[in-house]
Structure formats: C-alpha cells, structure tokens
Structure 1
Amino acid sequence: MTLILSLAAVALSLSLAMAGAWWVAERSGNHGWVDTIWSYASGAAGVAAALLPLGGEPWLPRQLLVAGMVGLWSARLGTHILQRTMRGHDDPRYADLRRQWGAAASRRLFHFLQVQALAGFVLAVAVGAAAHNPAPFWRLGDGLGVALFLGALLGAGLADRQLARFRADPANRGRVCDAGLWGVTRHPNYFFEWLGWTAYPAIALSLAYLPGAAALLAPALMYVLLVYASGIPPNEAHMLRSRGDAFRAYQRRVNAFWPSPARRAPRP
C-alpha cells in the first residue's frame, strides 16, 4: 500500500506541476515555460521514485546512482530550455497548436499538458524500476547504463553548442544547420535524448528481477513521442514553413533520427 500511495503522490505532483505550467504559459504568452517546467518536474519525480524507500531499508548505492542520473538529466535539459525561454520567444510548436485549436486552445492545452504529466509519470516508474534492482551493485549493466547516460549527455550538449554557434553567425541567417552532428541526423538533440533513456533498462534488466522490465517503458515512450508525436513532426512542419526548399533539401540528404552519413545531394 505504501508503494501505491507513494506512486499516487508522484502522479498527483506531476499533474499539479503541469497545471501550473499551463497557468504560467497562458498568463505569460510564452509556452517555452511548458517544457521548462516539465523537464524539472519529471526529473524531480524520477528522483523521488529512485529514492522511494522499500521495506524500511536505507538508500542503496544503485538508488543514489540512478537518482543522480535523472537529476542531472533534468538539470541540464531544464536549464537549457529555461535559457531559451527567458529570451522571450514563444515556442513555435505550441503556437501552431493554438492556431489549430482556435477558440478551444486554452482548454485543449490544459488537457494536452495533463497527458504530458502522465508521460512524466511513466518515465518516473521506469527510473524507479532501475533504481530498485536488488542485484549486487556494480554489475555489467550498471557500467553500461552509466556509459549510455554519459554518452547521451555529452552528445546532447555538443549538439546544442553546435546549433548555438551556427545561429550566432550572421552569415547563416535563413540557412539550415548541417554542421557537426546536425550533418548526420536532423535531430541529434532528440536522438541523444532518447539514448539517455536506454540507460535505465541496462541497469534494471535481470532474469531474477521481473519488475525491471518496466524500465523499457522509458525508451519506448520517448521514441514514440520524439519521432511520431511532439518532437520531429511539429518541429519539421515549422522548419518547412520557415526554411522551405532549403529544409526539403536537408531532408533528402540527412536522416530524421538515426545517425548516418549524409547522402549526396541529387544533381539538378
């Protein structure tokens, strides 16, 4: 019962956090606050799930490791989005949704953000499943999980810096960034975001620990969201409107998600 009540408290906290995100976004007119608050709230939920005491035992090393991982993910992503949000530009994805929803935009956005709260809860469950693996600490899966997480963190940070450097050059105004990692996948930030969530199944999966399979929910959910829902589709629709033929040419040369060498541009 304690576990059920604790998970219910995590779910309620996420729901309230995203209700607050809706209120802030509606009052400010800047919907970048939505992803900022979601990143911090989902990280806090993951830390809580990782550190949830089961059976009155003190925190174990794997719990502290996993809590640190999800906390670091949240701090990096949330702060990156916060810096962008503080510049005052509305997120074009949410602006497009509001135009599509018309007079019902405010109500539909509230419901949409509650779905995001549910997604954050699923991620927290996956994190908790990894943290509570009862196997002796520091086995091969722990090392693999840490390697995947750090690789994803470094890759996402590098992609963000490459894009910022490209945009800071006035000569690139109106162009599509294809420098560095952006030349092997159109969305390296999304790819590394997904890769980071594969760390938790690596830590959790064990034949002797069937609940560890719940950790697979994290990369599965993030793949669907990033590739088919709130990630690539609205982002590319915006880029097609703003960059037109230049972005279409980029689509023909570079894979959307999985990194791969760029293809040669077809001859006219």
Structure 2
Amino acid sequence: MDNSSIYALVGYSALACCVIMFLVWLWSLRIKNAGVVDIFWSYNFPIIAIILLLLAPGFETRKLLLCGMVIIAGGRLGTHLAVRVLKHLRQEEPRYAQIRKDWGKNAEVKMAFFFQAQALSNVLLAVPFFIITLNTAPQLGALEYAGTALWLISVIGEATADAQLAAFKKDAANKGKVCDTGLWGYSRHPNYFFEWLMWGSYFVFALGSPYGYLAIISPAIILYLLLKVTGIPATEEQSLRTKGEAFKKYQQKTSAFVPWFKKA
C-alpha cells in the first residue's frame, strides 16, 4: 500500500468535501435553512467515490463495483432528502431550528464549523472506500461478494422504508399521526437501521483487502451517531414534541431500531 497514494486521495477528497460544504453553508445563510447540509452530506460520498474511481490505483473491477455502490446509495439518499427539504426550503427543519435556538447569537459562526465538521466526517467514514480502492489484487473474493449482497439488502430496505414514510405523509388524512405501517410497524427507525447495515456492508467488503479490519470505524461511528447523538435521540425528541401521547404509544409497541423485532 503506497502511503503517498493514500495521502493524496484523502487530501483530494477532504478538499472537495470542504469546498462543497463551504458553498452550501453560504447558501444556507441566504435561505436561513441549515437542513440543506443533510443533502450534500449524502452527495459528498459519491464525490469521493468518483475521485477514487479516477485516481485510486486498485483493481479496476473492484473499484467499479465499490464506487458504483457508493454512487447509487449516496445519490439515492441525497435525492430523497433533497425532495423533502426543497419542498419547504424557506422553512427550516425543526431539528436545526432548535440547534440554532440553542446556539443563540453565534449560531451562524458555529454552523460554519458544523458544516466543515460534516465534510470531514464524510472523509473519515470513507475509510472503507480508500482501503478497497487501493487493493490491487486482480480478483474479487468471497467477502467482497458477501458485502455486495448485504449492500443490496440494505439499499432496498432503506429505500422501502423511505417510500413507505413518504406515502404515509402524502395522505392528508394522516396529518398529525404516527406512521406505523409497513416496516414502520416494527421499528420506529427502519431507515436508520438499513443505513447502518449499509455501512456494515462496506466493512464486510473491505475485509477482502489488506488492513480491511480498519473499516470497522465506519459502522461503529454511524451506530454511535444514530443511537446516541443526531439520529434516534433528536428524531424522537421532535416526535414527542409534535405528536405527544400518540408517539408514546407507538414507542411502547415498536422496537427503536431493529425492524424485525416487535414488542408484545
């Protein structure tokens, strides 16, 4: 593994993501909506994948497979978020409105650092991608095929959960209600579960490459964020504020995370 290749790829990726997030932050100032950061956090992974596809020295078939997976998954999620955010572009998502309120008069400056932190998190979470695309072994192994299969399950699962929630919200009769149909009848956050499973699939794929065990950092970080920081805690706090008793009853009936586990 060539250290100079690693440093160059990481550097190019970090530069691209930071520049994109700086421009997005400027846009967020103009429209007063920090929620756009989520869109471009997702799109930054395909950007990294394109950089690696063009510049990484690994086996071409492996690069095409991995980078194709990342582009499809990141593009799908980013577009899903864009559709949601752009419908209410001038109305900031409550989660970010609350953050802005908590940060007070220095909110915009702190947001600038927050956007850059999101860019750097893109690069950190891309560790499996760097490992995989530096692998020059001229054939794919069983772990790489297993990772691809797991990725396919995760992308289909997440897309299904997102589609079910979007359909529920589209029905005016459901206004103010809690989505408890489909996968949402088993888990309060099936989309988060499959998102984490996707990062697990990249880890499995990376195990087929030298130093692949280091890729565990990505699903570990995602799991921590989802369970303890910006995922489930923030989402459920907002749901409790807006849906109150209905959401409390929903919490009692469903699993917080794993979609196939349902409480009695």
What is the TM-score with the length of structure 1 in the denominator? 0.90
Indicate which of 180, 204, 207 corresponds to 1:205.
207
The aligned counterpart of 2:139 is 137
- Does structure 1 conserve the Cα–Cα contact (< 8 Å) formed by 2:9 and 2:51? no
What is the TM-score with the length of structure 2 in the denominator? 0.91
The aligned counterpart of 2:75 is 75
- Does structure 1 conserve the Cα–Cα contact (< 8 Å) formed by 2:45 and 2:122? yes
**Residues 156-211 of structure 1 deviation map (CA, whole Å, 9 limit, x = unaligned):** 111111111211222222111111101111111111111111121212214xx542
**Residues 96-128 of structure 1 deviation map (CA, whole Å, 9 limit, x = unaligned):** 100111111111111112221121001222212
- Does structure 1 conserve the Cα–Cα contact (< 8 Å) formed by 2:187 and 2:255? yes
**Residues 244-263 of structure 1 deviation map (CA, whole Å, 9 limit, x = unaligned):** 11111111221111224322
Inter-partner Cα distance in structure 2 for 1:241 and 1:263: 23
1:7-22 residue pairs with structure 2 within 5 A?
7-22=10-25
The aligned counterpart of 2:244 is 244
Instruction: Give SS of 1:198's match.
Output: helix
The aligned counterpart of 1:108 is 110
- Does structure 2 conserve the Cα–Cα contact (< 8 Å) formed by 1:133 and 1:204? no
Letter in 2 for 1:92: P
The aligned counterpart of 2:254 is 254
- Does structure 2 conserve the Cα–Cα contact (< 8 Å) formed by 1:227 and 1:233? yes
The aligned counterpart of 1:159 is 161
Structure 1 residue 135 displacement after superposition:
4.1
Structure 1 residue 218 displacement after superposition:
1.6
The aligned counterpart of 1:234 is 234
Aligned-residue CA RMSD in angstroms? Answer: 1.8
Structure 1 residue 241 displacement after superposition:
0.4
Indicate which of 32, 35, 38 corresponds to 1:35.
38
Inter-partner Cα distance in structure 1 for 2:56 and 2:69: 18
Letter in 2 for 1:24: W
Letter in 1 for 2:187: T
**Residues 15-72 of structure 1 deviation map (CA, whole Å, 9 limit, x = unaligned):** 2221222111121122231111111123211332355333xx7x52101100100010
The aligned counterpart of 1:97 is 99
The range that moved more, 254-263 or 69-78, is 254-263
The aligned counterpart of 1:48 is 51
- Does structure 2 conserve the Cα–Cα contact (< 8 Å) formed by 1:22 and 1:34? yes
Inter-partner Cα distance in structure 2 for 1:6 and 1:157: 30
Letter in 2 for 1:224: Y
- Does structure 1 conserve the Cα–Cα contact (< 8 Å) formed by 2:131 and 2:206? yes
Count of aligned positions: 259
Structure 1 residue 132 displacement after superposition:
3.0
Inter-partner Cα distance in structure 2 for 1:18 and 1:244: 35
Are residues 43 and 6 of structure 1, via their aligned partners in 2, closer, same or farther at CA, if it must alter by over 3 Å? same
Unaligned runs of 5+ in 2: none
Inter-partner Cα distance in structure 2 for 1:150 and 1:210: 23
1:171-182 residue pairs with structure 2 within 5 A?
171-182=173-184
Inter-partner Cα distance in structure 1 for 2:160 and 2:111: 32
**Residues 212-246 of structure 1 deviation map (CA, whole Å, 9 limit, x = unaligned):** 12222221111112221111111111111000111
